[in-house]
Amino acid sequence: MNWEQLLSLKRFGDTHKRLRKEQNETRLGFEVDYDRVIFSAAFRSLQDKTQVIPLSKTDFVHTRLTHSLEVSVVGRSLGRIAGEKLLQKHPFLKETHGYKFGDIGAIVAAAALAHDIGNPPFGHSGEKAIGEFFAHGEGKRYQSILSAKEYQDLIDFEGNANGFKLLTESREGVSGGLRLSYATLGAFMKYPKESLPKKPSAHIADKKFGFFQSQKEFFTEVAGELGLVPTGRGKDIAYSRHPLTYLVEAADDICYTIIDFEDGINLGLISEEYALEYLIKLVKDTINTKKYNSLTIMADRLSYLRALAINTLISDAVSIFIENEEAILDGTFGVSLLDRSNYKAQVEDIIQLSVNEIYCSPGVIEKEIAGYKIISDILEVFTRALVRQMEGKPTNYDKLLIQTLPPEYRNTKGSVYSVLLNASCFVASLSDSAAVHIHNKISGKQL
């Protein structure tokens, strides 16, 4: 892979090449990507979607929205620092093509801002609930009329693939979705493969999948334009990662490691003294002990350690990225940047404590159980209504249900796969509160 191709400013529908040196510096294309994501309805819905604590009523616990904003800030720093080093290493990018280090920061920030845009309500349990509806619930009856890959899309419903769909799907009057630059879409594509074969290698790019069968053609176009290396066998579609995806992933890893931990402390799930000790181990080489000891309020101590920890991991991740640039460009770097971190042991300790005390806490588990039931029930009534409508046999109740759907989810003129996928994507679009509200309506609990 080569950087000139990877930093493509092309957008859906372009008929001419966009050159970096011809860009308007006051309205740079990569910065436009950020604006388009942040003003989208899908992004706004993240304000009421679970990050870790489902349906939390406290004002200091992160939602998908605050998490995404923080990841974008960390991503921008990672991109700008890495960009400066890349331009020093490859001066032709600046001298011949006009790229600046801020361009890399803008691409990573935009992709990081969008990284969770396709995630369902109730956190990762929402993805699993959609998948289990089709694998073990009422949705299993459709397996025989779907291709293997179509069915896999549903039983392993993936927020990353739904995110790509949201960002790129054309609908009446709107061509190419948000029409982001291909460079930003490439950096967003964390798992550049289809749902089957499942985990064909130990490479991190093969861990999950990044697009539904309905987006296969455009995904392939983007990958080809960027010059990503094909890795699939036969007719199976898979590519190497865009190098900047590693920075987007690092930003997410840094934030959820430190910020989820901070939420656990604020909620009282992890004792303050115990938690601060873990963070101090991570920043022991950079901490100003005198300054730290002068902080008498727990929130101030936590804020200081959080900033140091994030800065420490940013510097470390950039160093790993630059040191392994050649392997990243040829597609052979098979782990995340934090997996090679000098602080891997400290990070793993923090994550393990978060798993034990936060993710597996009774409150989180109880709310995830409720989320499973809510999502399953909503999917059951809407998939049944849409399929009956497609077959020309809707009941009056089905017709009423369909009328409540946003227009983009009502279309039943396509295949059974497209109808089922649209129903799943509708559920994924719901905020936590909206899902609860709809469930109350269909259960007759609320007029």
194, 28, 196, 211: which is closest to 103 by C-alpha? 28
Q: Identify the helix (H) or strand (E) that includes residue 147.
A: none
In the predicted structure, residue 58 carries a pLDDT above the cut 70: no
State the Cα–Cα distance between residues 30 and 8, nearest whole angstrom. Answer: 10
Residues with Cβ within 8 Å of 162's Cβ and at least 6 positions away in sequence, in order, are: 118, 119, 120, 212, 425, 428
Report, as an integer, the average pLDDT of 202-215: 98
Furthest-apart CA pair in the chain: how many Å? 74
In the predicted structure, residue 54 carries a pLDDT above the cut 80: no
In the predicted structure, residue 56 carries a pLDDT above the cut 90: no
Token pair for 396: 């009056």
CB 23 within 8 A of CB 336: no
Report, as an integer, the average pLDDT of 140-167: 98
Please give the pLDDT value at position 55.
Answer: 55
pLDDT tier for residue 53 given thresholds of 50, 70 and 90: low
With b meaning 16 or more CB within 10 Å and e meaning fewer, what string describes 340-372?
bbebeebbeebbebbeebbbebeebeebbebbb
In the predicted structure, residue 60 carries a pLDDT above the cut 70: no
State the Cα–Cα distance between residues 344 and 95, nearest whole angstrom. Answer: 37
Residue type, 162: N
Please give the pLDDT value at position 276.
Answer: 87
Please give the pLDDT value at position 298.
Answer: 85
Token pair for 439: 């469930």
Identify the CATH number of the domain defined by range 121-155+361-447.
Answer: 1.10.3550.10
**Domain ranges for the chain:** 121-155+361-447, 245-360
pTM: 0.95
Which CATH number is correct for 245-360, 1.10.10.10, 3.30.450.370, 1.10.3410.10, 3.40.50.10310? 1.10.3410.10
Token pair for 315: 């510097």
State the Cα–Cα distance between residues 302 and 274, nearest whole angstrom. Answer: 12
Please give the pLDDT value at position 236.
Answer: 97
CB 270 within 8 A of CB 357: yes
